[in-house]
Structure 1
Amino acid sequence: MLESVTEFRQLDLADTLLSALDSMGFVSPTPIQAASIPLLLTGVDALGKAQTGTGKTAAFSLPVLNKVDLSQHKPQAIVMAPTRELAIQVAAEIKVLGQNIKGLKVLEIYGGASIVDQMRALKNGAHIVVGTPGRVKDLISRDRLHLDEVSTFVLDEADEMLKMGFVDDVTWIMEQAPASAQRVLFSATMPPIVKQIVDRFLRNPERIDVAGENRTVSQVSQQFWIVKGVEKDEAMIRMLETEENIDASIVFVRTRQDTERLADWLSARGCKAAALHGDIPQSLRERTVDHIKRGVIDVLVATDVVARGLDIQRITHVFNYDIPFDVESYIHRIGRTGRAGRSGKAILLVRTNQIRMLRTIERVTKSRMEEIQLPNRDAVAAARLTRLGQELESQKEQATLEAFVELVGKLQETIDVDATTLAAMLLQRQQGNRPLFYKGPDPMIAAIDREQQRRERRGNDDRGTRNERGGERRSNNSADWDTYQLQVGREQGIQVKDIVGAIANELGLSKEFIGAIKLAPSHTFVQLPKKMSAEVSAQLKKLRIRQNDVKAVVVEGEVLREHRPRNSGSRDGGRGGYRGNRDSNGGERRFDRNRGSDNRGGNRGSANSDRPRRPSGERSNNA
């Protein structure tokens, strides 16, 4: 069936649906649609495995619409989705596909909206109901949503739905379903909990698996930038302003707090940005999504869950400000662009200790990301000037300019300046927080230079003394280290990984050049090489960690025990750093720098995760 169906007209669909598809410009079904629609039209139970962005909404919606009976006023199909946004999106797509079915009523129900209005809408009649499990169960329990005429139940994004804790609700709802109802489940993955639902409620389901080829990934150009030289906020504004062919974009962050903070930061610099997260009232979330569709805003800063299912044609770029915890989340993120045959672009900001996760994403998605360099400030300024020129070009023929020409003359007389100086003054005022040119060195250029020096130092070290096995290693003599006291500690929420990350990213020192670290409540001791370049030493003086000046000073005495050689025969096997608990003389945090996840905090996993244990008294920064 997958190979034989090449056009929608080959499928046994009503003329009203085919005409709607023609008006939308859809001629050929996607693989999931070609495989699913003929099976679902027969009424059999089905289990579909497909990634986001493959067209599965139409795959189950078209068969449902094809058999809808307009003379019945009770719901004939229930579609359940994990989030409000996805429920709204699915309902909207069903309405578009059924636009030529006169009298069709599609109702979305979800928490955060008035349940009274939803009960009133159900009383007035609805043919198809799309909702979240919690609200669907609530309305069934209140005897306002009746299932006696339901002929189809659909679970969309079942793995995400059950992962979010809707197992009991979904189970309860499925138990209320009429025995004769068709049951359809779509999921990107098949974890055990999904298999339990399938085994219990689906009757000899037909299996549809088109997950072998990830069409979303293949449609999206993927790039990454290794964080160095500038803060990620500054990096975001540079990318947003210099990317070619960018229309609208989604910036993914991990926490709700970061959505608000970054959206405000971008807005203050001239970007039309807005935050989208679970704590925002539903009405405002809907308005925000509508605004990006209509071009009122161009940048959506969002968390994973609320952006699940968004299908906005304007989205040309997806930026992963924070690397996701797993590959599946990454696929869902970049699936917000490159949908339904459209091309898109995804850019990932990755810290040096996250390269392993980057390679895992590449391996699982069977794709290769291109490393890019951040545009320098001159390129950003040039892009701003070009955009300003384009805007002025479109204005020069406007008739309303005549009144402003008169104002220019009056201003020249009032403040006694020539036209060129006045134009320069107005231009300076207009640029606001978005400079059209910069003065002073670009920190990005300095970061590139530091990277080059680091590579040269590594090359020199590699040519150092050979050990007894004929290998090469650098000296671990304690005389090679200085001990610095940093005026930040656990009281500021500082963790060892923050210290390592700041030194590695801002000073350009690799882990081989970071010695022992002792973390205390109000300060931190860290060993750094004696022979650091003048530039690196200068950067150390300006170093900030979590917005705190570290005010690094060299200290004398045995505040830290001697730095141990990495190949000293310990169980670490030379993997770098120290492991274990703090020592008995107070507060030294020993760690393996190759372990752990994100310098910015947070890691998920099982109880035996290899994330370093948090010392007593240290505050968590995870959201």
Structure 2
Amino acid sequence: MDTPPFSELGLPAPLLAAVESLGFERPSPIQALSIPPALTGSDLVGLSQTGSGKTAAFTLPVLARINLQELSPQAIVLCPTRELAHQVCEEVHRLGSEMRGLRAVPVYGGAPIDRQFRALRQGAHVVVGTPGRVLDHLRRGSLDPRGIRMVVLDEADRMLDMGFREDMETLLADMPEDRQTLFFSATMNRQVRSLIDRFGREPETVQIEQQAKTVSTIDQCAYEVRERSKVEVVSRLLDIEPARLSIIFCNTKRSVDECTEALLARGYAVDRLHGDITQQMRERVLKRFRDGIVEVLVATDVAARGLDIDEIDLVINYDLPQDPEDYVHRIGRTGRAGRSGRAVSFVFGRELHRLEMIERYTRHPVRRERVPSQEVVEGRLADRLFEQLKDRLGAADFPSFEQQLDRLLEQGFTPTDVVSALFAMLREEGGREFSEIQEDREDPADRRQRRDRREPREPREPRQRRERSAGPPVDGDMVPLFCSLGKRSGVRVGDLIGMFYNEAGLPQGAIGHVKLFDKHCRIDVAEEFAGQLIEMAGRMNLRGKRFVLDYDRGPGGQR
């Protein structure tokens, strides 16, 4: 359904400013139907599937009715799990970012209750929590319900299924009678209806029809890919089937930055979106993406919210999402408006179990495929070049080079030699260097057999110690080099990697981890090429800046 803009829903200016800064373009159907009646103070029943945008559907009306001058609990949001309570509280802070002084406190089991005591004593406008812990605070007197104006039951059916009925009834009975109650649920079963009949005051019901969790036109597959091989596999996928527009989803801002820099260094038209991108820059990136100037967008889930572009042909889950709902949101970016689409996920080790959980949630199989080999990619590129040449020969407007061809034939070259050389030149101009990855040397069946024998999985490098890498290492040991260029020199990791590969002619994978500090950086280089690179560095400069490159003799890579 077509929905009106947020500006027509009756929201106050600070909330509209926050919505705009977060990049929401138009409200979802459940938001458009729920917000106006909720703003009037009426009770409401919102029936909508998980992942339809219902959090903002109740959060915005809650924030619109908050009196910031009154630092006491005015709204309570009940959630079935602490994970959801934490997410909802974060959403309250995001949507209330323009409300100076707003305080929201999450309270749930499994977290230190003394911290929650302190937070509630300091004052809160909104309390978000699980029924058991919220009831505990009511009984202890740390939560005063007298000023509560709104109570929201998020995923009411799920809370009832989890056995919270008695707690929910006790909580609702303890709330002021003149409060507003918002019930949000994916289903309207007998238990939910009983709760609404008992505690609702002639609530208005809004309902969004259940939709399929996945779109039938989306082709879903998964590749078993190690962390260090992901950039190479992304490159191969983009080379095999060029999509007009593609989105690569990462779980963290750091992954977004690393993936973007690596793809830029390989020559792809790519840009990024994450929470640190300003609104002005976000709008610029999205316009370039819509116009096709940027063909690949690397983004986090938060940054991609509100993205409404129909021409996206490929979605890649660079990192598999933790929540099956997020998977549905991501792949739903493609296959829109009757178009076909493709969704690819990278998994490895324990993530395979998470992928199976996603399949159960969506009730749709995700096909396992083997990573395309270098030979497959090169063959596909050659086929595409052949088709382009054939199409050009069929056109009537290509320029004539008969004189140049005659000169080559006079020098003894055959027509076959000329055509072969032209093909090679075109291939080199449009191609790139391939990196060999461990997945090229393995068959998926071998990996499955190893898992069946319960061999230990490849250990993961701790997240806080991960460093940026230019690609999988070549055979042999790596040695650290010191470079006098750092963050204050205005250089980026991609600049250094591109300079060393392009000017020193190093083979792909000769450069390993690159650690950038304020005044210098440490670069891991294959030992057999380290001396060559140090010698050539004396003749290099980066944007006119000379630098020192030598073996790193300092502790921990710092001189």
TM normalised by structure 2 equals 0.49
